[in-house]
Each structure stands twice: as C-alpha cells, then as structure tokens.
C-alpha cells in the first residue's frame, strides 16, 4: 500500500453491513426480559389453591365430626337407640365380667370413636339385687386393663330402669363412658370409646340418653 492512500478497514467477522442485507430481510426486535407479573400471578394462584384445599379439608373435618343421628331397632325388638352416621354392625363376644354379649357398634369421627350397645343375660337372683349386680359389672370394667383408671361412678335411673354410669380412662388418655342398664334379666352396656369425646360431650350424652328399652320397668305396664 502506497503511503498516503486511504486505509479501508476490513469488515469484522460475523457482522453484516446494512447495505449488504437482503432486501427481504426484516430485523427482529430484541426480546425484552419477562416482567415479574407472570411469576406474581403464579404465586397468587398457588396461594389461592392452597387456601382452597385447606378450607375443603377443614370443612370435611367438620363433616366427619357431625354425628347425623339415626334411630335403629335391635333385631329382637328389645330396644331402640340413636346411632351416629353409619349403620351399626353386630358382633358377639365376652365382656370384662365374663358374660357373653351381643353388640351393635358404629364408629365415626376423626380420630374414630366407637359407639356401642351390648346386651347380656343375667340370672333372676342377680337381677333382684340390681345394685350389687351393677357395681360388680362396673368393677370388672375397671379391672379389665392394667392402665385403666376410674374417673367417676354414679347410680342413675334410666327411663325407670336401674342403672349406673361409669367413666374410665386408659391407654394414651383414651376415655370410655359407660352406662349399665338392667331391664328384667337383660343387662345392657351403652358406651362410647373415644380419643376425643368424654362424658361432658353432647354427642356422648345424646347417645346414652337415646337408648330406649321396649320392656316396661318392673311395676309398670305399657
């Protein structure tokens, strides 16, 4: 190159002069960074969904806690009773006092509580001394478990029949509320075994009071 001649800088690699672009080529605008609005909307959506799910769970919990009482009759017609939610199932066994029984049971709530009515036969001499009989049955329940503790015991008159109320705690503060009712030579045990209910709960008292024997008390007629 001769001295004094103008110097043409070679084009930079990877660049194109605007005059060299294809006439049909259109420059695309540069993308702008995404704004924060999209992430905020997603966060709000997640929060709303979480709150909705939490509300549904709370509502379902309240639903489980409602007993939705319905009246059932014993298969032999000896009594009627109000059981919560589910149709009770029938089973047999031997009670803490050793007497065979037939029971109707129903569970509901969270944690689940068991509502039951057991019917057992006693002899006529035992029935004549109802106070001793009921006390001995209550004692058998108290002695039934190594971790069972008696909380209270009260005699009562259930719809004209001799009865006794017993409240026990056992295990990890589980409560058993029992009512023993003697109808002729039939001994009934009405009870609630629960982690959440005790003898002050309305559901428990409604269940106990809802038990209605169909045989008239001694000295009375239908």
Specify the pLDDT at position 141.
96
What is the pLDDT, as a whole number, of residue 100? 98
Q: What is the pLDDT of residue 58?
A: 47
pTM over 0.85: no
Residues 75, 4: Cα–Cα separation, whole Å: 123
**Fold of the domain spanning 76-213:** Protein Transport Mog1p; Chain A (3.40.1000)
Domain ranges of the chain: 76-213
Q: What is the pLDDT of residue 61?
A: 46
pLDDT of residue 115: 95
Strand partners, 90: 104
Number of other CB atoms surrounding residue 205 within 10 Å: 15
Q: Which helix (H) or strand (E) holds 191?
A: strand 186-194
Q: Distance (Å, rounded) from C-alpha 51 to C-alpha 42?
A: 14
With tokens 């002729």, the residue in question is 184
Distance CA 47, CA 45 (A): 5
Cα dihedral value 45, 50, 51, 52, nearest 10? 90
Q: What is the four-CA torsion angle of 32, 37, 43, 48, rounded to 10 degrees?
A: -150
Is residue 109 left, alpha or beta, with left meaning phi > 0 and alpha meaning psi from -120 to 50? Answer: left
Contact (Cβ atoms closer than 8 angstroms) between residue 167 and residue 156: no
Contact 105, 91 (CB under 8 A): yes
pLDDT string in tens for the chain (222-residue length): 556 555 565 555 555 555 555 555 556 666 665 555 667 877 777 766 666 665 444 444 444 556 688 899 998 999 999 998 678 999 999 999 999 999 999 988 767 889 999 999 999 999 999 999 999 999 999 998 778 899 999 999 999 999 999 999 987 778 999 999 999 999 999 999 998 888 888 889 999 999 999 976 655 544
């Amino acid at each position: 190159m001769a001295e004094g001649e103008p110097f043409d800088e070679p084009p930079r690699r990877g660049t194109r002069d605007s005059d060299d672009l294809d006439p049909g080529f259109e420059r695309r605008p540069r993308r702008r960074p995404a704004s924060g609005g999209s992430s905020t909307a997603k966060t709000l959506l997640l929060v709303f969904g979480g709150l909705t799910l939490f509300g549904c769970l709370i509502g379902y919990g309240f639903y489980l806690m409602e007993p939705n009482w319905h009246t059932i009759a014993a298969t032999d017609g000896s009594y009627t009773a109000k059981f919560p939610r589910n149709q009770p199932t029938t089973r047999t066994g031997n009670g803490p006092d050793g007497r065979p029984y037939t029971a109707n049971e129903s569970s509901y709530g969270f944690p689940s509580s068991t509502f039951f009515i057991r019917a057992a036969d006693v002899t006529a001499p035992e029935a004549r001394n109802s106070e001793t009989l009921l006390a001995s049955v209550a004692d058998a329940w108290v002695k039934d478990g190594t971790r069972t503790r008696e909380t209270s015991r009260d005699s009562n008159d259930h719809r004209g029949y001799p009865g006794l109320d017993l409240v026990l705690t056992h295990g990890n503060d589980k409560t058993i509320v029992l009512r023993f009712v003697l109808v002729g030579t039939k001994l009934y045990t009405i009870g609630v075994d629960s982690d959440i209910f005790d003898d002050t709960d309305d559901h428990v008292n409604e269940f106990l009071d809802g038990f209605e024997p169909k045989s008239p008390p001694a000295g009375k007629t239908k």
